[in-house]
Chains A and B, each alone.
Chain A
Amino acid sequence: MTTSEEKRLSQSDLLRRRADRRAMALPMAGFFAATVSAFAFAPNGGKSTWSVILWLSPIIFVLWCVLAGVKSFRRADEYQQRVQLEAMAVGFAATMITTTVFLLLEAAPIKVSGVLSSDPGGLAWAAGYAGWMGTIWFRSRAAR
């Protein structure tokens, strides 16, 4: 039987977790602020240059998050890096498969309704993210 002592995080885990939180805090806050600003100050469906800039401004913080993610990957140990790579491969495949399904449905004379037709990009994003996070969860379940 495993005890709480057995289940505690190692120093390497704690240091990495702290560093990851520090690195992600600012870009996440920036993303949140930029998204709220877009909703508050840019008219939905507006076509002015200012409106487009405001709606795309969160991308800067997404790129910052990606950089923080790459640094986090470098801080991870060899097994964690392998799990991350597998998870990203599954997430990428899930996005590609979902996108291919939409393309095939578009090419075929099949009428789809609901979220399938209204937000295919969002659904492909969600499928990729679910594949990525789901794989990490599945691969690390034995150590929890």
Chain B
Amino acid sequence: MNNRLRELRAVRRWSQADLADRLDVSRQTINAVETGRYDPSLPLAFKIAELFSLPIESLFSPGADDTGQPQ
């Protein structure tokens, strides 16, 4: 899964810790989502979308490996 988290965060000049504070998660989680090592749960994805006032589909898009098949 690809996401625009780093880009949107940079526009607002927030650090990873600032964003983590706003989402009530650890900085480690923000780092993992930004670097694509972790896809957030739906509740967290909706929380991120709400924070940036954007629809969820404009934040996250399927990556090359996402076939939509259960693993």
Contact = CB atoms under 8 A, between A and B. Distances in A.
A47 B33 CA distance: 56
Interface residues of B, number: 21
Interface string A8-21: 11111100100000
A9 B44 CA distance: 19
A140 interface: yes
A10 B26 contact: yes
B38 A9 contact: no
B31 A11 contact: no
A82 B20 contact: no
Per DSSP, are chain B's interface residues mostly helix, strand or loop, or mixed? helix
Nearest to B40: A78
Per DSSP, are chain A's interface residues mostly helix, strand or loop, or mixed? helix
B3 interface: no
Given A6-B15, A8-B15, A142-B31, A79 B20 contact: no
Interface in A55-109: 76-80, 82-83
A3 B33 CA distance: 19
Interface of B: 15-17, 20-21, 24-33, 35, 37-38, 40-41, 44
Interface of A: 3, 5-13, 16, 76-80, 82-83, 140, 142-143
